[in-house]
Structure 1
Amino acid sequence: MNGQRLTVVAALERYPAQGRSGRPLGSVYLTSLTAHSGDSRRPVIFAFNGGPGSSSAYLNLGMLGLRRVQVSGPEARGPTGTIVDNHDTPLDVADIVLIDPIGTGFSRLASRGAAGEAYSAVGDAAYIAGVIRQWLKRHHREAAPAFLAGESYGAQRVASILRVLSCNGERHCTPLAVEGAILISQSIEIVNTLQRPGNVTGIAAGFPTIAALAWYHRKVDRHDRSVDGVVADALAFSSIYLSALYRENSLSVDERSAIVGQLAAFSGLAPAFFQKHLSITKDEYRNEAFRPTGQVLGTYDARYLGPVNGAGDPSTNALDTVIAAKLSRVLNEGVGVPASYSYRVYNDALDGRWTYAPVATPFSKYDYAGEFAAALRINPALKVLVAGGLYDTAASVGADAFLLNQWSVPATQTLSVHYPAGHMFYLDDASRVDFARAIRCFVGSRSIAVCRAAAQSRGIPPGIGSLPSQGQQDLAQ
């Protein structure tokens, strides 16, 4: 791993999951990967996927586990599904614990009556925080630096778990200071990720993704520009776009014409598309970009194309099948799990049953970013690594920029990297190698500046609130 030989102990472990009142909620299974080093202060990364109905299979087989599934790119027909040794796992710098929340993997409810608490943002965070404490105690690792890594909804889990581990003022609770948070294709600012109708901030935040897709699919003339340059310009334009959306019905003819011209230039769509409304969401673009040929772009990786009336998502249909088919083999060979055991890679039923706020009402705040900000106030030394894919429409580089610009996190504690791939960008070989390098530095170095300088990756441009580049200033004028 990373040029080193390492002896690793792989184990499937079971932990009781308890509710906030101490009642049993179920059993949580996790995959524990620990180096046979005897170092009780060796860092530990606790990782989970999102959904909220996803197991940790994607991070396990895609990035962090001992074995990984080798997939082909969007130009091919689908993933090859070959299982290979994963030389990119950051196990050389940290032990890794892959957690399957209740209802996923082998983890199960204790009873039907426990579902309400287990399948909620509050209950989920509470019992997973408890499992993390149990693992540290069982392995005598209470003094080890702890890191949380969450993908997609898993990033929201990170925010909520940080709050629980900090004790949040609770009596008879010992705070656990997490050293770093790794947010992968995050959805903490979910209101901006989803782009709800009328949410002009979300529409502006999503536009750089549209610009990246227009570049990738050659809907615009590239003029020898890289995708990074296009995204940087689109991020700068987003602040202008946001102002225009806010004032849409009071714009002068000249102002509106200038905005329409820029929207068309970035997106590759005809100016006529924007004559009635200036807004365009990522989903609208996925359906509009190749409408003449009867094709739609994938959600999780919009480099992929599929038929308009096709089932599922063009970017994940083949991948989901491969992951489900290969994981049982990996668990059987790696930790001795009988192949007949039923592992739930993804539990679709949880998506509709999940309670995302303490009280299930439209008036709830759903303030995951606020939870993270509160954790930062309690633990101001917390380091944050934000990573995403430029062609991901389930999350977006613009939402990441917006989030980072809203947090009062010093630049000395924040590292952001974005890759020319989709939601699971680490399935791309070059992106995975680079992201592994970023994780190693993030976990092992005391200086984020060193990581930023050393990483061979695409750092996020200044962001949605930054000054436009000179070219964009000229266009705006």
Structure 2
Amino acid sequence: MRTRFMARIFTTAAFALVLVMSSFAMISPSYADETTMATGEGQVRIQGERVRYRTEAGDTVITNEDGQPIASIFSTAYFRTDVRDGHTRPITFVFNGGPGSSSVWLHLGLYGPKKIVVPSDAENPGAAPYDFRDNPHSLLDVSDLVFIDPVGTGFSRAVGEGRNSDFWGVQKDARVLAEFIRQFVTKHNRWNSPKYLSGESYGTARVGALLAELQHGWGSMTFNGVHLISSIVDFQTTRVTEGNDMPYIMYLPTYAATAWYHDALPNRPDELEPFLDEVRQFALEEYSVALLQGSRISPEAHARVVEKLHQYTGLSTSYIEQTRLRIVPHRFFRELLRDRGQVVGRLDSRFIGIESDDAGERPIADPSAYGIDGAYTAAINYHLRNNLNVNRSDEYRILSGQVFAGWDWSLPRGQQQGFHNLAPHFAVTQQRNKDFRIFIANGYYDAATPFFATEHSFSNYGMDTDRVVMKYYESGHMMYIHHPSLEQLSQDLRAFYRGE
């Protein structure tokens, strides 16, 4: 019996290895076809210390098994030069999300040696010229940095035999970016460096998919840790679909924080965090049970839940009755401040906007998105040409709706229905790598990736919570645009690099 069982394991493992080897053969390394990298030098004062660095920005060509180019991945790398042994210095691979976003936000908002400064308190920065300066909170003092633009964003694109559809999907995207990381690590002799992945928003799901690609097979690349900025790794927690009650539970603390910030609560408490603890408890206990009961709930219990939702969200009891206790996110953004003629932001619910239609069901646009896009677009285009020596006329795509619309959300083989859930990959990585740690940054006013959903995802699947660092900031999805949050986040990340 034992022999048969072991044989079955060997057969399965061997078959898996064949699949992995054949899969990776399709995008084998080839440096001969790489384009020339633009290089430069610079210095910046970080935490009061002068840091010298060199830059490398350009394309890395990925080829198929026949050596034909299929994708060109644009990256920007910063290497600290005033250190002795750069080959064993930490290196962090950074990307944003979307899907369809370039890495500009984390590049010029948090990690890089230059940053764009936008108003801290949810105000519109207006038009150029913008405040673009050295970043005293950059993480370059503690880690070399590589900013990656996925295919269809930045300057990255499908080339030759490649098609966009080959790279626009959860597994497809992870596979080509994993190959880029392998090539980069090999080319720059960084196999013995402590390695980190950093993603924001969908980029946190990408981190999970990359861990599965890079660390869960034979001949794997191990990572010391990951940074998850505004995390979404289990899509059931936020996808509003018929029959899925999870989002209503997971969004409730974010609704409460938003209403608290805008002084829209009937009885606003003085302090936010104790209030949110109360809302969390209600969401997990009384509210979740009420949704599960449906029409079986007693009239008394129903009335209690309606009143609590009114107290916690600021929405009227009559409106809550109409929702059947299920408050849809985009409706909340429109409804909360309707009597003031305002809508609240999704990426950062501190932002407010004024629209032409006060009777709409949802906001026409996200005021927290159009409030900062212009500044970041101007900054990256200036930085590329004036600091990184990248002189090219094609468009650097900050965001691509084409990528988002064309994304392949199909589930892996054997998982025929349900939602993408990358959370188990983090637990498996912990189990197989004793040094692997997870840092998670949450914005209280992030209504795109609610913090309560993240708490749920990293409290399950056998996750070792002793190796999960969970931090909170009084800002939104991009908490680093809030100056006090940026300062605190940079300190928290430094502590994480130190193993604290």
Please confirm whether the aligned pair reaches a TM-score higher than 0.5, indicating the same fold: yes
Q: Write the deviation string for residues 222-277 of structure 1: whole angstroms up to 9, x where unpaired.
A: 65522222222211211121111111311112211211111111111222222241
State how far apart, in whole Å, the 1-side matches of 2:106 and 2:241 are: 28
Closer, same or farther: CA 115–205 of 1 in aligned 2, 3 Å: same
State how far apart, in whole Å, the 1-side matches of 2:353 and 2:383 are: 30
Query: Does the CA contact (< 8 Å) of 2:100 and 2:403 recur in 1?
Result: yes
State how far apart, in whole Å, the 2-side matches of 1:288 and 1:231 are: 21
SS at match of 1:52: coil
Letter in 1 for 2:263: R
Letter in 2 for 1:284: R
1:242 aligns with 2:288: yes
Let me know the Cα RMSD of the aligned residues: 2.2
State how far apart, in whole Å, the 2-side matches of 1:223 and 1:303 are: 16
Correspondence for 1:302: 349
Q: 1:400 aligns with which of 454, 466, 473?
A: 454
Query: Does the CA contact (< 8 Å) of 1:19 and 1:118 recur in 2?
Result: no
Q: 1:259 aligns with which of 305, 308, 315?
A: 305
Correspondence for 1:338: 391
SS at match of 1:156: helix
State how far apart, in whole Å, the 1-side matches of 2:264 and 2:108 are: 34
Correspondence for 1:356: 409
Correspondence for 1:104: 153
**Structure 1: any 5+ residue segments left out of the alignment?**
446-450, 452-477
Query: Does the CA contact (< 8 Å) of 2:57 and 2:74 recur in 1?
Result: yes
Q: 2:275 aligns with which of 230, 247, 262?
A: 230
Query: Does the CA contact (< 8 Å) of 1:122 and 1:358 recur in 2?
Result: no
Correspondence for 1:30: 75
State how far apart, in whole Å, the 2-side matches of 1:108 and 1:75 are: 34
Q: 1:48 aligns with which of 95, 101, 116?
A: 95
Query: Does the CA contact (< 8 Å) of 2:68 and 2:161 recur in 1?
Result: no
**Structure 2: any 5+ residue segments left out of the alignment?**
1-45, 358-362
Deviation (angstroms), 1:399 = 0.6
Query: Does the CA contact (< 8 Å) of 2:121 and 2:482 recur in 1?
Result: no
Correspondence for 2:40: none
- Within-5 A mapping of 1:79-228: 81-111=130-160, 113-168=162-217, 173-220=218-265, 224-228=269-273
1:388 aligns with 2:442: yes
State how far apart, in whole Å, the 2-side matches of 1:403 and 1:326 are: 35
Query: Does the CA contact (< 8 Å) of 1:46 and 1:148 recur in 2?
Result: yes
Letter in 2 for 1:378: R
Closer, same or farther: CA 18–379 of 1 in aligned 2, 3 Å: farther
Query: Does the CA contact (< 8 Å) of 2:123 and 2:351 recur in 1?
Result: no
Deviation (angstroms), 1:121 = 1.4
State how far apart, in whole Å, the 1-side matches of 2:63 and 2:421 are: 24
Correspondence for 2:50: 5
Closer, same or farther: CA 206–15 of 1 in aligned 2, 3 Å: same
Closer, same or farther: CA 419–195 of 1 in aligned 2, 3 Å: farther
Correspondence for 1:269: 315
Query: Does the CA contact (< 8 Å) of 1:383 and 1:414 recur in 2?
Result: yes
SS at match of 2:372: helix
Q: Write the deviation string for residues 9-58 of structure 1: whole angstroms up to 9, x where unpaired.
A: 11103212246997643111111011112421111110000011110011
State how far apart, in whole Å, the 1-side matches of 2:216 and 2:452 are: 32
Correspondence for 2:334: 287
Q: Write the deviation string for residues 387-446 of structure 1: whole angstroms up to 9, x where unpaired.
A: 12111111101111111211422232010111111111111111111111111111122x
Deviation (angstroms), 1:181 = 1.2
Query: Does the CA contact (< 8 Å) of 2:475 and 2:485 recur in 1?
Result: yes
TM-score after normalising by structure 2:
0.83
Deviation (angstroms), 1:137 = 1.4
State how far apart, in whole Å, the 1-side matches of 2:319 and 2:411 are: 41
Correspondence for 2:425: 371
Question: Which structure would you say has the larger Rg?
Answer: 2
Query: Does the CA contact (< 8 Å) of 2:174 and 2:209 recur in 1?
Result: yes
State how far apart, in whole Å, the 2-side matches of 1:41 and 1:147 are: 13
Q: Write the deviation string for residues 436-460 of structure 1: whole angstroms up to 9, x where unpaired.
A: 1111111122xxxxx4xxxxxxxxx
State how far apart, in whole Å, the 1-side matches of 2:113 and 2:453 are: 32
Q: Which moved more, 1:71-80 or 1:286-295?
A: 71-80
State how far apart, in whole Å, the 2-side matches of 1:73 and 1:91 are: 23
Q: Write the deviation string for residues 171-209 of structure 1: whole angstroms up to 9, x where unpaired.
A: xx5111111011111111122123334321221011000
SS at match of 1:92: coil
Correspondence for 1:57: 104
SS at match of 1:53: coil
Query: Does the CA contact (< 8 Å) of 2:267 and 2:311 recur in 1?
Result: no
Deviation (angstroms), 1:343 = 1.0
Count, aligned residues: 442
Query: Does the CA contact (< 8 Å) of 1:20 and 1:127 recur in 2?
Result: no
